[in-house]
């Protein structure tokens, strides 16, 4: 896939993956029907052999690529303020490196070739020392809901996700899918690409329809669907 020219792209990822479940499977059905690669952000601490076998099955049975990434370690809150976070400068480099390495080893052992060493921080929170620990752990890149002024790193490409379509006030609900589409198209216009992070566990019947219609519209707008790994590799080489 040539990503050099100004072809608009969208990457879709599913968060908080522990194996396979009914709702996750339905999201994957919608993505597969549109030829969209499936990026699963797996929580290492929640993945056992059974869950790993389910993910291997998904990889084998889908007509689109199904690849797994590392979503935190145990998805535990270590925050010291009102917002939740698992990683951040307040935990220090060494402890974060320990968590990142343990998570990466676990996923490598259970998932083998369907694991790509890309990281996504739970609750989209991280610090400069997190990026240093990511490099030291041998992870190749990160995807995160991007905020202007957030830390970056010369050797760890960051795939900037542009939108969380969920309103997390309790109970969590999806924003309207037309708002999500508008936001994605705006991000594409501003920067050529956009990332959509999905939480299958908060999706209801109308959200599967909404996701399907959103992907239809993006298709009509000539969007292409690269794999995250290809974008990271391209940026590491440039």
Binding site for Zn ion (CB under 5 A): 15-16, 122
Length of the chain: 238
Crossing angle for the helix pair 49-61 and 93-111, to the nearest 10 degrees: 60
Query: Which tokens hold the place of 91?
Result: 């935990």
Q: How many other C-beta atoms are found inside a 10 Å radius of the C-beta of residue 214? A: 22
Measured on CA atoms in the order 24, 70, 43, 214, is the torsion positive or negative?
Answer: negative
Shortest spacing between CB 35 and Zn ion, in angstroms? 26
Crossing angle for the helix pair 128-136 and 93-111, to the nearest 10 degrees: 50
Do the Cβ atoms of 129 and 221 come closer than 8 Å? no
Shortest spacing between CB 224 and Zn ion, in angstroms? 27
Shortest spacing between CB 197 and Zn ion, in angstroms? 9
Nearer to Zn ion by Cβ, of 166 and 223: the residue is 166
Shortest spacing between CB 63 and Zn ion, in angstroms? 27
Nearer to Zn ion by Cβ, of 16 and 99: the residue is 16
Dihedral angle over CA of 50, 67, 86, 145, nearest 10 = -150
Shortest spacing between CB 200 and Zn ion, in angstroms? 12
Shortest spacing between CB 7 and Zn ion, in angstroms? 30
Give 117's contacts (C-beta < 8 A, 6+ positions apart).
Answer: 69, 70, 104, 108, 138, 139, 140
Nearer to Zn ion by Cβ, of 88 and 122: the residue is 122
Determine the 3-state secondary structure of 135 from DSSP: helix
Nearer to Zn ion by Cβ, of 9 and 161: the residue is 161
Nearer to Zn ion by Cβ, of 27 and 181: the residue is 27
Which runs of consecutive H residues, i.e. helices, occur in 62-204? 93-111, 128-136, 177-191
Nearer to Zn ion by Cβ, of 13 and 91: the residue is 13
């Amino acid at each position: 896939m040539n990503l050099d020219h100004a072809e608009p792209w969208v990457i879709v990822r599913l968060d908080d993956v522990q194996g396979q479940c009914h709702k996750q499977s339905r999201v994957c059905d919608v993505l597969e029907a549109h030829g969209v690669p499936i990026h699963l952000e797996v929580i290492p601490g929640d993945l056992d052999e059974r869950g790993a076998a389910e993910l291997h099955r998904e990889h084998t049975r889908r007509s689109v690529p199904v690849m797994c990434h590392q979503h935190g370690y145990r998805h535990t809150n270590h925050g010291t303020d009102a917002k939740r976070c698992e990683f951040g400068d307040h935990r220090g480099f060494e402890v974060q490196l320990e968590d990142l390495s343990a998570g990466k080893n676990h996923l490598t052992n259970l998932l083998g070739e369907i694991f790509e060493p890309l990281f996504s921080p739970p609750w989209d929170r991280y610090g400069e020392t997190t990026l240093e620990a990511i490099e030291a752990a041998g992870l190749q890149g990160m995807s995160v809901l991007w905020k202007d002024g957030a830390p970056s790193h010369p050797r760890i490409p960051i795939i900037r996700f542009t939108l969380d379509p969920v309103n997390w006030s309790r109970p969590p609900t999806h924003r309207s899918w037309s708002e999500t589409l508008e936001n994605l198209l705006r991000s594409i216009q501003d920067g050529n690409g956009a990332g959509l992070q999905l939480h299958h566990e908060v999706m209801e019947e109308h959200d599967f329809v909404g996701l399907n219609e959103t992907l239809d519209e993006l298709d009509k707008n000539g969007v292409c669907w690269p794999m995250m790994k290809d974008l990271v590799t391209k940026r590491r080489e440039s």
